[in-house]
Amino acid sequence: MTVVVIQQEQETVQIPEWVTDLSSFRRWATSDEFPERGWYAHLDGQLWVDPSMERLGHNQIKTKIGAVLSMLADQAPGSRFLGDRMLLTNLVAGISTEPDGMFLSATTLRAQRARLRQGDDSLEVVGTPDMVLEVVSPSSVKKDTVILRNLYWRAGVREYWLAEPGREDVSFDILRRGAVGYLTVRKHARWVKSSLFNRSFRLTRTHGDDAGPAYTFSVR
């Protein structure tokens, strides 16, 4: 199995020799030996590794979006929003990865299109969530905007949300699943409509103090 290291820092990336395919990666990812720092994923036959630490903008954006989507999940009984560090596995697409967030509707869970295998003790979602969020970092542009865009479509994910902090501004897009790939939903004054939630969302950045920029995620 090919290993793709997308950003190498000082530390050495160590992967057990027995991790050779999707099945063995899942065993490793749900074991006590799986690294707590960095990002590791099995993507269509390749093991992708990014051991770099998370940047402030990345952390703030996923936190803001997650807070709003958690609120919406609470308003839809039986639905769940899951933040990062929860493994997502889809056997059709050949992926096992940790998105920055994903939404499972009550309908999807009842139909078992996505399953939490062990209830509250679950470490993994198996199947197809309704929506997946990825926050793009400098080291993950190709992975998030090309590789995962294709694989999440193959997995049947209805909406793929992409956010990216920039030096002066922030970008936010909702990609809707089409017949042969994802289609970017058109914005109106920076608001973008989600057919899944039947609401519009906007991500904005303001220049903060010495602690860095501040982000606001609005819904209407």
Region 45-59: mean pLDDT is 91
Region 15-33: mean pLDDT is 95
Residue 71 lies in a domain: yes
Residue 1 lies in a domain: no
Contact indicator for 101, 82 with CB cutoff of 8 Å: yes
Contact indicator for 204, 218 with CB cutoff of 8 Å: yes
Residue 213 lies in a domain: yes
Residue 81 lies in a domain: yes
- pLDDT attached to residue 9: 59
pLDDT digits (tens, 9 = 90+) for 168-218: 899 999 999 999 999 999 999 999 999 999 999 999 998 766 777 899 999
- pLDDT attached to residue 11: 61
Provide the 3-class DSSP secondary structure of residue 107.
helix
- Domain interval for residue 68: 54-86+98-219
The tokens describing 136, both together, are: 């793009």
Contact indicator for 105, 142 with CB cutoff of 8 Å: no
Q: Inform me whether the pLDDT recorded for 132 exceeds 90.
A: yes
Rounded percentage of the chain residues whose pLDDT exceeds 70: 95
Gap between the Cα atoms of 57 and 145, Å rounded: 18
Q: Annotate 160-190 with DSSP letters as a single string.
A: EEEEEE-SS-EEEEEEEE-SSSEEEPPEETT
Q: Output 57 or 211, whichever has higher pLDDT.
A: 57
Residue 123 lies in a domain: yes
Contact indicator for 40, 54 with CB cutoff of 8 Å: no
Residue 13 lies in a domain: no
CATH number of the domain residue 59 falls in = 3.90.1570.10
Q: Inform me whether the pLDDT recorded for 7 exceeds 70.
A: no
pTM: 0.94
- pLDDT attached to residue 8: 58
- pLDDT attached to residue 3: 84
Gap between the Cα atoms of 50 and 141, Å rounded: 12
Gap between the Cα atoms of 39 and 48, Å rounded: 8
Which residues are CB-contacts of 142 (< 8 A; sequence separation ≥ 6)? 6
Gap between the Cα atoms of 100 and 77, Å rounded: 22
Gap between the Cα atoms of 134 and 119, Å rounded: 24
The tokens describing 129, both together, are: 């969530």
pLDDT digits (tens, 9 = 90+) for 111-121: 999 999 777 88
Residue 20 lies in a domain: no
Which residues are CB-contacts of 116 (< 8 A; sequence separation ≥ 6)? 80, 104, 109, 122, 124, 125
Q: Inform me whether the pLDDT recorded for 19 exceeds 90.
A: yes
Gap between the Cα atoms of 128 and 104, Å rounded: 8
pLDDT digits (tens, 9 = 90+) for 61-113: 999 999 999 999 999 999 999 999 899 999 999 999 999 999 999 999 999 99
Domain total of the chain: 1
Region 26-34: mean pLDDT is 94
Q: What is the mean pLDDT of the chain?
A: 93
Residue 177 lies in a domain: yes
Dihedral sign from CA coordinates of 5, 123, 53, 218: positive
